[in-house]
A = this chain, B = another copy of it.
């Protein structure tokens, strides 16, 4: 099986890489790549036309949420998740392991898999290493993820080690099972393994070595961006990045914050996902090149400037802060969509600029200053 990721450039002064990730239909996706999250087959507040216009050709969905609603049978009857949702781009699905963290009270870990009591109607589900792969094949995605155990924080080393070992057992099982499952497919999905190990570098090293050695098409780091302090995040991301196999796509799951994305890119990660740009938008938070701000702030009443004077997105070309704030104060649904459009444009633009810097070998000089700006909370002198 040919590699689904190829490198296009290596930055001069950092571990940052630019490359191409190839989807099932041959579409080449530029990396570093941010994946917007369309949890249960919908990117909140947007339609697919919006997503395409923003320049995204690829989204992440959650197997768990889709299995619960509308259910695999309905999606299969429609001809897979792309036919069901009408999304013409590519899809990566998370396997359900993240829900060990996000829905902890509803999940129990067993040696043979995860048992869920769902958050909708209290139905009971059993996700095994084999069944989650089969589910993702039924969905018809481009990139599937192994079932893992994402340990929430705080966690003792004993617990993190136990979760990691379970993740490893399942990874071995899934790596062995996969060729058989996709044997009959002309153009099979790609399967990514997931590294765990919490905030412990020894465990992370062990996990990278094991998962990296199982021949997956890509290697993901899970169990970060789950609420740890930024220093901890940086310590672990900087530790794991360079250890990961150089020739394969490196995915830091659940990231996240724009400044953190630049940090992770500098340490060799290629792929990301997070609900953050859309969720923040729904709460009135706006990203801009000068810093982030809360649009409800009285400072923005009557402010006729666009959200980000340097931005060329539809929203910034059409509307003022004053008008968007007016919609927000009115609780008109459309504010959430317009801010989501802006924030997602901002993310794509940011990662596009990062990629161009890597291609020209100037990323290491560029990103630290951007990091400071992205972290700034406005108004300062605005």
Contacts and interface: CB of A to CB of B under 8 A. Distances in A.
Contacts of A48: 318
Copies of this protein, total: 2
Interface in A316-349: 318-320, 322-323, 326-327, 329-330, 332-334, 336-338
B337 A336 contact: no
A46 B319 contact: no
Contact of A42 (B77, B78, B314, B332): B332
Interface string A49-80: 10000000000000000000110001001100
Contacts of A49: 314, 318
Contact of A301 (B70, B330, B336): B70
A88 to B, nearest CB: 9
A32 interface: no
A275 to B, nearest CB: 13
B86 A334 contact: no
Which of A45, A46, A77, A333 gathers the greatest number of chain B CB atoms within 10 Å? A333
Contact of A47 (B44, B78, B338): B338
Interface in A266-324: 301-302, 304, 314, 318-320, 322-323
A84 interface: yes
A108 to B, nearest CB: 25
A314 B40 CA distance: 21
B44 A322 contact: no
Contacts of A47: 318, 334, 337-338
Contact of A318 (B86, B336, B337): B86
B314 A45 contact: no
A360 interface: no
A197 interface: no
A41 interface: yes
Contacts of A156: none
B78 A333 contact: no
A302 B75 CA distance: 8
Interface in A70-112: 70, 74, 77-78, 84-86
Nearest to A341: B47
A278 to B, nearest CB: 11
A274 to B, nearest CB: 18
Contacts of A45: 332-334, 337
Contact of A330 (B40, B43, B330): B40
Interface string A14-50: 0000000000000000000000000011111111110
A56 to B, nearest CB: 15
A74 B322 contact: yes
A182 to B, nearest CB: 27
Contact of A326 (B41, B43, B314, B336): B41
Interface in A335-377: 336-338
B333 A337 contact: yes
A246 to B, nearest CB: 40
A135 to B, nearest CB: 17
A324 to B, nearest CB: 10
8 contacts: A44-B332, A45-B332, A45-B333, A70-B322, A77-B302, A84-B320, A86-B318, A333-B336
Given A41-B323, A77-B304, A78-B320, 10 more contacts: A40-B330, A42-B330, A42-B332, A42-B334, A47-B337, A74-B322, A77-B302, A84-B323, A86-B319, A333-B336
Counting from the closest, the 6 A-B pairs by CB-CB distance are A86-B318, A70-B326, A45-B333, A42-B332, A86-B319, A74-B302
